[in-house]
Chains A and B, each alone.
Chain A
Amino acid sequence: MSRTVKAALAGLATGLLLHSVAAAAEIKVGLLLPYSGVYAALGQEIDDGFALALETHGEASGATFELVREDTEVKPPVGLAKAKKLILQDQVTIMAGIVSSGVLGAVRDLVHGAEVPLIVANAGNDQATGERCSPYIVRLSFSNSQVNRPMGPWMYDQGVRKVYTLAPDYAAGRQMIETFAAAFTEAGGKVVGQDYTPFQKTQDFGPYLTKAKSSGADAVFVFYAGGEAISFVKQYDSFGLKETMPLYASGFLTSPLYVNAQGPAAEGVITSLHYIPTLDTPVNKAFVKAFKAKTGREPSEYAVQGYDSARALIEAVKSGATDRKSIAAALPKVKFEGPRGQLSIDPTTNNIVQPIYVYETVQGENGLTQKLLATLPDERDPVNGCKM
């Protein structure tokens, strides 16, 4: 072989090598979030958290990330169309986001069939990491059961024996309450009454609050989020129930995102959630500081879900994954310390394993804040019919 040919081959090999490194280092992420519609505020929080993690930790992975944003409008058919566009037209390596479980249900089969990894950054439907689980879908947010299950025994230990439950009448509302009720009953407590209010059609909780009041329960346990949460907390207080029956809830009720709109009515409400911004760990403090500097807001659990979703992707890339297949395989193995604590993925369901925090909403120096009452150990969901 002549010298020139050798040189040419060497040059070609180097070129190929360089090329493959450059190609490996470019990861296209499709963000599938509601930028309009009722959950637009949540979409923005997740987006901000996701972008912050890429800015802070992205470089260390050796790869560059390109974001393609698509608006699901919280409508399942729109979400499905946008997911198709991201996969087929934009050829994204990975997708992340999804606030509504309805949208998640709509895109699940597409994602599973196309074998594109999807990091779920909110939607909590138990089935998504249960009987409808997929090796390509990893959830970094929470499951509806996970957040509420540990609250059952904890409340029993606090001396609560009889509860009345309230939640909006849709899948998430029922899952949250049913899991809590089962755990509370198993611990020895009793559910003395239950109401599911018409979802997004109930403006006046008066009739239900009056029922709860006359039920003879020690406490009330609820799940409401967003606008309904604000109306509920204010009306609960205005009926004077807070003094006689303490209000416990799934922590979304008093999310930092809108707790200040509830005002003094939210004081003393005790809830459980997978994140509160007042956690006293160095990782969380650094995150809160960076998030505030970027957006001017206190981060909510939604922001952390976006942040940790991007962190999980970065960790997967660090372990050598670069394309759809390898990222999907690497995601369930990631482990890292996020703002909410030590996180890992349960490989039997692809749902996150995380501690749950019980907190009380209290008056702080600058408005309402979260006082940590208890840290409940790592909560892992049962397999729930998931076959990988």
Chain B
Amino acid sequence: MSDTGFWALQTLNALQLSMLLFLLSIGLTVIFGLMHFVNLAHGALYALGAYLAATLAGLGGYWLGFLLAPVGVAAVGVLLYAGLIRHLRQAGPMAQVLVTFGLIFALLDLTRIVWGDLPLSLNTPEVLTGRVALLGVKYPTYRLFVIALGLAVLAGLALVLNRTQVGAMIRAGVDNDAMAACLGIRVERLFFLVFCVGCALAGLAGAVAAPLLSVRPEMGLEILIPTLIVIVIGGLGSLKGAVAGSLVFGFVQTFGAVLAPQLASVLIYGLLAAVLVLRPAGLFPARG
């Protein structure tokens, strides 16, 4: 394999990881930006999405899981909102962190009780199996699909946030929620909407990750730290920040593993520390 081929493959690897993290972090970061609500259980919803996708795929093929897993996770999000999160809105960040952190373990054991301890798995759909020649290299089709899906979601969200009235309302809410409420925007309802979309995206990320990885109870816990790193590096609350954070994480992680394998696991934390020192609000914070 040629040298350029090697780097092209690694770039695609980095992009693929970035897009997966983007799907997860965008929901979390907008929920935080809009309502200063830290939902640590976001990773658990991702795991739930993967489990739902694996189960539904067993019943009606991959695409059934792909389409319904986000819906199912959003429904769980509605329940969480009505049962817990709504009551925690005024409780302060410490209570929110503790409750959603506890929720991680509750959901983790729940998946274990329902689906068992053994990892599940999900095959890629027939259309997306195999490899495609691109940039002079052959790359797994499914991974290209993940990249394309991430870009599509990014384009869709950018369109909604920048060009529609709902998007303007969300941006206003993130910028100054008290003022937005004074102007007649129902911030709480907006938050509910964003929360559900965020949950659905977490479910989608789970469904998309399932054929690449093994589906097991701990996957939600494992993805939580990378997701938090992404939104802290990118800056809380902004779409641009989530994109930038995901790309930074994906590229540092991938090229770190290639160029400095011994440092692979610490590199990203070092970068995180550097960002916190130099730009405490992240690269693209939602508010100036």
The CA of A368 and the CA of B42, in the complex, are separated in Å by: 35
Within 8 A of A (CB), among B226-260: 253-255, 257-258
> Which residue of the partner chain, among B13, B211, B222, contacts A206 with CB atoms under 8 Å?
B13
Is A203 positioned at the interface, with any CB of B under 8 Å from its CB?
Answer: yes
Asked whether, in the complex, the Cβ of B9 is within 8 Å of the Cβ of A210, the reply is: yes
Tell me how far the C-beta of A71 lies from the nearest C-beta in chain B, rounded to whole angstroms: 13
Chain B residues whose C-beta falls within 8 Å of the C-beta of A264 in the assembled complex: 123
Tell me how far the C-beta of A216 lies from the nearest C-beta in chain B, rounded to whole angstroms: 9
List the interface of chain B (C-beta within 8 A of A): 1, 5-6, 9-10, 13-14, 16-17, 112, 116-121, 123-124, 131, 138, 140, 142-143, 209, 211-214, 216, 218-219, 222-223, 253-255, 257-258, 261, 264-265
Is A20 positioned at the interface, with any CB of B under 8 Å from its CB?
Answer: no
Q: Is the interface of B mostly helix, strand, loop or mixed?
A: helix
Asked whether, in the complex, the Cβ of A206 is within 8 Å of the Cβ of B213, the reply is: no
Tell me how far the C-beta of B4 lies from the nearest C-beta in chain A, rounded to whole angstroms: 11
Chain B residues whose C-beta falls within 8 Å of the C-beta of A261 in the assembled complex: 118-121, 214
Supply 18 further A-B pairs (C-beta < 8 A) apart from A204-B17, A263-B121.
A40-B112, A203-B222, A203-B223, A204-B253, A206-B17, A207-B14, A207-B253, A210-B10, A211-B258, A227-B119, A227-B213, A227-B214, A230-B214, A231-B212, A238-B124, A238-B131, A240-B140, A261-B214
Tell me how far the C-beta of B95 lies from the nearest C-beta in chain A, rounded to whole angstroms: 27
The CA of A294 and the CA of B84, in the complex, are separated in Å by: 42
15 A-B pairs, CB-CB below 8 angstroms?
Answer: A195-B261, A198-B265, A203-B219, A207-B253, A207-B255, A210-B6, A213-B9, A226-B214, A229-B214, A231-B212, A238-B212, A240-B131, A258-B214, A261-B120, A261-B121
> Which residue of the partner chain, among A198, A240, A257, contacts B118 with CB atoms under 8 Å?
A257
Is A349 positioned at the interface, with any CB of B under 8 Å from its CB?
Answer: no
Asked whether, in the complex, the Cβ of B121 is within 8 Å of the Cβ of A40, the reply is: no
Tell me how far the C-beta of B265 lies from the nearest C-beta in chain A, rounded to whole angstroms: 4
Asked whether, in the complex, the Cβ of B117 is within 8 Å of the Cβ of A44, the reply is: yes
> Which residue of the partner chain, among A201, A204, A213, A230, contacts B265 with CB atoms under 8 Å?
A201
Is A196 positioned at the interface, with any CB of B under 8 Å from its CB?
Answer: yes
Q: With contacts A204-B13, A206-B143, A214-B1 known, is A40 near B117, CB below 8 A? A: yes
Is A361 positioned at the interface, with any CB of B under 8 Å from its CB?
Answer: no
Tell me how far the C-beta of B50 lies from the nearest C-beta in chain A, rounded to whole angstroms: 12
Chain B residues whose C-beta falls within 8 Å of the C-beta of A38 in the assembled complex: 218
Chain A residues whose C-beta falls within 8 Å of the C-beta of B13 in the assembled complex: 204, 206-207, 210
Number of cross-chain contacts by CB at 8 Å: 107
Map CB proximity to B onto A239-275 as digits: 1 under 8 Å, 0 otherwise: 1100000000000000001100111100000000000
Tell me how far the C-beta of A308 lies from the nearest C-beta in chain B, rounded to whole angstroms: 22
Q: With contacts A207-B257, A234-B121, A263-B121 known, is A239 near B140, CB below 8 A? A: yes
Tell me how far the C-beta of B208 lies from the nearest C-beta in chain A, rounded to whole angstroms: 12
Chain B residues whose C-beta falls within 8 Å of the C-beta of A197 in the assembled complex: 257, 264
Tell me how far the C-beta of A265 lies from the nearest C-beta in chain B, rounded to whole angstroms: 9
* Ranked 4 nearest A-B pairs via Cβ: A230-B214, A261-B121, A206-B13, A198-B265
Q: Which of A196, A198, A229, A231 has the most CB of B within 10 A?
A: A231
Asked whether, in the complex, the Cβ of B254 is within 8 Å of the Cβ of A207, the reply is: yes
Asked whether, in the complex, the Cβ of A258 is within 8 Å of the Cβ of B124, the reply is: no
The CA of A41 and the CA of B217, in the complex, are separated in Å by: 12
Chain A residues whose C-beta falls within 8 Å of the C-beta of B258 in the assembled complex: 207, 210-211
Asked whether, in the complex, the Cβ of A238 is within 8 Å of the Cβ of B214, the reply is: no
The CA of A196 and the CA of B263, in the complex, are separated in Å by: 11
Asked whether, in the complex, the Cβ of B222 is within 8 Å of the Cβ of A200, the reply is: yes
Closest B residue, CB atoms, query A228: B214
Tell me how far the C-beta of A171 lies from the nearest C-beta in chain B, rounded to whole angstroms: 16
The CA of A231 and the CA of B203, in the complex, are separated in Å by: 19
Q: With contacts A210-B13, A261-B121 known, is A238 near B142, CB below 8 A? A: yes
The CA of A201 and the CA of B216, in the complex, are separated in Å by: 14
Closest B residue, CB atoms, query A239: B140
> Which residue of the partner chain, among A44, A198, A206, A213, contacts B16 with CB atoms under 8 Å?
A206
The CA of A169 and the CA of B266, in the complex, are separated in Å by: 13
Chain B residues whose C-beta falls within 8 Å of the C-beta of A204 in the assembled complex: 13, 16-17, 212, 253-254
Asked whether, in the complex, the Cβ of A262 is within 8 Å of the Cβ of B213, the reply is: no
The CA of A230 and the CA of B210, in the complex, are separated in Å by: 11
Chain A residues whose C-beta falls within 8 Å of the C-beta of B255 in the assembled complex: 207
The CA of A210 and the CA of B212, in the complex, are separated in Å by: 16
